[in-house]
Structure 1
Amino acid sequence: MRLPPDVVSEFELKVRKVVDGVLVGKFKSRSFGGSPEFAEYRPYNPGDDVRRIDWKVYARSRRLFLKIFFHESEIPLLIIYDDTGSMAYQGKHLTASKFAGALAYMAYRGNNAVSFFSLRGRYLPFGRGYDQVLRIYAQTLNEPSGSTDFKRSIVEALHFTRKRLLVAIVSDLAFPLDVLNSGINLLTRHHDVVAIHILAPGEWNFRDDGKILVDMERGRRLSVPPNSARWQRERVRGWVASVRRAVIQAGGRYSLAFSDEDFPSALRRVALELF
């Protein structure tokens, strides 16, 4: 999927220049040698290097597939991206899109392969180059909607790879804590995991006393009692602390970002905390 020129220009202005300005040197490969290691098969597309076609697979299936390899020294990146309905609140998905684009671009700058999996099941195989960055960014521009089972999505994502990865979760992590714990533990069992937790200012500084709120994933309506804002703010802070603890205790790294933050400043801080 190619992005329209105006979207490419927007990416280069809002993401690429930010990364170039504040994160020079991140995601560099440890070296450029090493023995190649098989990672996965990918369907052949016109223009791909025909030398990478696995003819044994073709003989069995009469379909063309490429063999994709990693070098042992590389840090392949899998971006797990939250495209569920709750991300539509107060621009969380816009901030998440920038972070996902920045992560993909950082991997590209470090000569590392990068892949994309959305919690609602959209997948891009591992690839390299600036076109792969743009393909991933294009995936993040879909409007968030619906809901998902976090653990089930993680199990599905793990079907697509064999090698130890750096896995970056970009999400509001709005899932039951037991489900979140199970999913994170599945990932950290074999992979290096970082979580970028995206929150909206209205979630952190809740002020909606006496209003009717709507669940953006399931459509349920919730009446907020008067004078409950302080209690709700304390509840959210306790939940965030529990999420952070769950990620760290599982062996991952955690950083919190807000949808109204200045993106260059947020990216610099998150990168320092995670990488």
Structure 2
Amino acid sequence: MDDETSVSLFEGDEGGLEFAQRHALVTLLKQRFISARTHPRDWQVLVEHERVLRSRLNDLFLDLAIDPTREVAWKRQAVSETASRFPTLLHDTAWTREETLVLVHLRDRLRAGLAGGDARVFVDRDDVLEYVAGYRPPHATDEAGDEKRARNAVTSIVKAGLLIPTGSEDRFEVSEAVEPLLPLEAAAGACWRRCRRPTGPSPRSRPRTPTCSRRTASEHRRGRAGRRVRAVREAGRRHPRRRHRAVARLAAPGSSTGAGSAVSPRSRWAATRR
């Protein structure tokens, strides 16, 4: 290859991409997404050399997804047509409950702002934290831990590039990449199962409903007496000579079947053993 057309950047370089193309490819591999807002140079290279970069990603079993309306591009795992699994370079990590809540709130704010004619949408940290706190169950007592997880979720979304820092520490711009990167079905299912607002008392705080299986103290006493009589009958079948003495003791005044019983369970048991 002639020096004028060579794209070699180091000794022994056999690559066929120019520096700008390689830079855009590395950015695609390292970042969750690139956009015209956050990576203007890489986005321009991607638009001009989409086929080349897509081919390089395909060599790694990756696919390139592009949203031209929002000017966002991201990589995703390629799916085999034969249902077989490809080797993967991606580490699939699910959003946490708090991160999902933050993303849903950002998407709603982004939609409302764009529908209202705003070119850029901003949110405050306190607004996001208040939204997440609104989904705290009534029986949750670890408010400090819940707030810490919510703040960590905001920090994670900032690191992912979906919240763009501004001059203020507690104010961010919402990236338009929130919409294509947050699957509608996954967000809806996650929020319905795990993130829906509590609308009533928790199961532990609800009063128990009386049931027909509850019995009064007198019913319990009658039940115990009945069990003792059945025990005496069973003992009588095994030892007929002791049956009359045991029945006589149970029927005597002050026995367990009469009112004001003063005979202990141990003595009644001993009576059946004589």
The TM-score, its normalising length taken from structure 1, stands at: 0.20
Would you tell me which structure has more strand in proportion to its own residues?
1
Would you tell me which structure has more helix in proportion to its own residues?
2
Instruction: With a CA cutoff of 8 Å and minimum separation of 6, indicate the structure with the bigger relative contact order.
Output: 1
